[in-house]
Amino acid sequence: MNSKITLAMLMCGIGAVAAAGVAGAATPDLDAPSIAVKYDPASLDTNDGARQLYARLTNAAVEVCPSYDAHWISHQVEVCRAHAIESAVAKVHNPRLAAIYLNATKRG
């Protein structure tokens, strides 16, 4: 049985929302681009399976939040991608995947 994760991100107005300082109060746009990432929940029984799903979620975030400049990624695109990955990991609700996400997003 496959599950689906939908990565939905605001593409229009994210810069204005972030500039206004109310990004936390933003509600998702129902027409926002999304990608369904199918996976087998049993694959999350291993670290390899969780890492593979994390890589797929990261690739999906790049597709949902594209950068139109090959040499520079704007802050809005970085925020969009980070939020897409964080949301997808939360929707999967798996401790292995969450640990991989936390390890990948460590600052320092």
Quick: pLDDT tens for 41-68. Answer: 999 999 999 999 999 999 999 999 999 8
pTM for the model stands at: 0.70
In a domain, 39, yes or no: yes
Q: In the prediction, which pLDDT does 103 show?
A: 96
What is the chain's mean pLDDT, rounded?
78
Quote the domain boundaries for residue 74.
3-19+29-104
Helix/strand number for the chain, H first, E second: 4, 2
Q: What average pLDDT does this structure show over 2-7?
A: 43
In a domain, 24, yes or no: no
Please give the single-letter amino acid code of residue 1. Answer: M
In a domain, 79, yes or no: yes
In a domain, 94, yes or no: yes
In a domain, 45, yes or no: yes
The count of residues in the chain is 108
Looking at the structure of the chain, the number of domains it has is 1
